[in-house]
Chains A and B, each alone.
Chain A
Amino acid sequence: MKIAVCLKQVPDTEAEIKWDIPSGTLKRDGMDSITNPFDEFALEEALLTRENYDGEIVAISMGPEKAADVLRNALALTVNSVQQISDPAFAGSDTYATAYVLAQALKKIGDVDVVFTGKQSTDGNTGVVSAELAAILGWSQLTYVAKVRSIDAAGKKIVVERAIEGGNEVVEAKLPAVVSVIKGINEPRLPNLMGIRKAAKVEIPKWNAGDLGVDTSKVGAAGSCTKVVEIAVPPPRGAGEILKGEIEDIANTLTDKLIDLKVIK
């Protein structure tokens, strides 16, 4: 089975975020970066799939030069190969442009049975690249996956549980499939020291727009049809009221105030 996993480098969720205004892109220089937390679950699911069914894993990441770090981490966790997708022309790509580039990369890799992605990134937070990728490729679109029940590469079939409103939907789908996973699907493992040492020495192969046959008029800030027109700091919430006094009185006041909102039925 050929397993692909898409990884994104994002600013550390604890980091202070700086925007480049007015271009609307992130100032990624000098910011601590990590593998998108949701993608760690995707990577672990790829590793588990290989353990359960055999096969090879190729990890890909689209992003600037320094995003090679996330692929090094994937190598330390023993993925079979990695491929960085990087080109100045890609900077500022919106979700569709990103999905289009990733689709070109997956086609070039060839014969992929299943692609794992995280549910969303913690920086862009859009949560739609996976679905767009599936639609562009015409592959099965399996989002919000909480459990992979079985994968039958020979029979070209996968069965998953999707965590949607009110419960889990069990879906059988044809392969190839793009599977976006949620937190809690597994417990991501950590790389060991030997893996890290080995990965440090590997040259990370890179594909640019030309290698992928990407039409550069469709990507990057210029080619994307969604344009950022304004970045603002949301108005602060009005100063709140601290209720003071005996618990009895506080509880009395608060319950009155909440009942007055006429929300409790």
Chain B
Amino acid sequence: MANDVWVYIEHKDGAVTPMSFELLGIGKTLADGLGSGVCAFVVGEKADDIAKEAFAYGASKVFAVEGAEYKGFRADAYSKAATSLLDKYKPAVALFRATSQGTDVAAASAALLGFGLCTDTIGLAVDGGKMKMTRAAFGGNYTVSVVNEKAVPQIATVRPKAFAMPEKDASKSGEVVKEAFSVAEADLNTKVLEFIQSATAVNLVEADIIVAGGRGVGNPEGFQLIKELADLLGGAVGASRAAVDSGWIAYEHQVGQTGKTVKPKIYIACGVSGAIQHLAGMRTSDCIVAINKDPDAPIFKAATFGIVGDYKQVLPKLIEKFKGKLGR
């Protein structure tokens, strides 16, 4: 019990995606190393449907706090409820996805418990009964491993897609433990007024495929071609800082040290030179394709496949071939 690994299940107004459960996979591996079990924990208006899916993805138990005040996400309400669970059951480890919600709840919960945490981890292993948490530092030029000696639980946020999705088995079930914990509206600091959906709905962090453009794209129109390929492949559009600072594309597309850190399965970099600041944000991608006119561009050193050439000539050919082969 006390040695269990807990996985926070994030949701948006009760809605989950398979990715909400991804950490149950690594959670199980860690729990095996600790000789314990992997459990899910949820804060929300209603938790039963979410719990059912958590069992299918491998949770042995689900702990939940339910209440009308948890209908939509609010950092203070969710953190207080999550902290009440962690404080009562004292699991060995609590994992959160390194998303906006996961990070908000992990950081505030750790602070309320009086501990530090390790963020955006890309490696997790049990070492001498403690969890060793590895993260990239300084533009991915180094990895740093930390242990949280005194903390119960050891809290980590985990880079999305850093670990494999667990298998789903809908026949599995388990026990749901519901804890009463409520926060009076008057004691809460925040209220969500509305959500403005982004017209382009960029979700780089969740994307399996990213087509990105850099300084070499040359102008805003160049991104049309990049977007065309991204759309064709069901991917998202990324950009280097140079492209964003030139005003060719919005900041929400920026990948790198001062942008987003991503780990897609395929990353196609067009006219991106590969400065360390950009590599910091994408070097752990599974397959990197680099298209650049300059054969000496550093991006080629990180690339799985490289093409020395002008993206304006290469992309239309790729689009044509993909259309033919994929029947689109």
- What residues of chain A have their CB less than 8 Å away from a CB belonging to chain B? 13, 17, 19, 24, 37-38, 94-97, 99, 122-128, 131-136, 139-144, 159, 161-174, 177, 182-184, 224-234, 237-238, 240-244, 247-248, 250-252, 254-259, 261, 263-265
Contact = CB atoms under 8 A, between A and B. Distances in A.
Interface of B: 75-76, 79, 99-101, 103-104, 106-112, 114-120, 132, 134-151, 157, 189-198, 201, 203, 205-206, 208-209, 233-234, 250-252, 254, 257-259, 265-266, 277, 283, 286-290, 300-309, 313-314, 317-318, 320-322, 325-326
A228 B306 contact: no
The 7 closest A-B pairs by CB, nearest first: A131-B107, A128-B107, A135-B111, A96-B116, A251-B317, A132-B111, A94-B116
A82 B11 CA distance: 41
Contacts of A232: 142-143, 145
Contacts of B258: 13, 37-38, 122, 183
Contact of A140 (B114, B149, B190, B250): B190
B116 A251 contact: no
Contact of A228 (B146, B300, B302): B146
A71 to B, nearest CB: 22
A227 B300 contact: no
Interface of A is mostly: mixed
Contacts of B257: 13, 122, 125
B116 A168 contact: no
B192 to A, nearest CB: 6
Contacts of B233: 264
B196 A168 contact: yes
B104 A227 contact: no
A226 B305 contact: no
Contacts of B137: 123-125, 231
Chain B CB count within 10 A is highest, among A165, A184, A242, A261, for A165
**Prevailing SS type, chain B contact patch:** mixed
A183 B75 contact: no
Contacts of A142: 190
A182 B100 contact: no
B192 A13 contact: no
Nearest to A241: B305
Contact of A170 (B196, B203, B322): B196
A250 B108 contact: no
Contacts of B120: 125-127
A164 B107 CA distance: 16
9 contacts: A13-B277, A95-B107, A123-B137, A135-B112, A167-B196, A169-B192, A254-B305, A254-B318, A255-B325
A171 B191 contact: yes
Q: Choose among B116, B120, B314 the residue with the greatest number of A CB atoms under 10 Å from its CB.
A: B116
B198 A168 contact: yes
Nearest to A185: B251
Contacts of A248: 317
Contacts of B308: 242, 244
A242 B300 contact: yes
A37 B241 CA distance: 13
Contacts of B151: 225-226
Given A128-B117, A165-B99, A228-B146, A264 B205 contact: no
Contacts of A132: 107-108, 110-111
A240 B189 contact: no
A227 B76 CA distance: 27
Contacts of A256: 325
B189 A164 contact: no
Nearest to A232: B143
A168 B198 CA distance: 7
Contacts of A226: 116-118, 146-149, 151
A241 B304 CA distance: 6
Given A96-B111, A97-B116, A264-B233, 4 more contacts: A123-B137, A256-B325, A258-B287, A261-B266
Nearest to A236: B301
A115 to B, nearest CB: 14
A131 B209 contact: no
Contacts of A134: 75, 108
A225 to B, nearest CB: 4
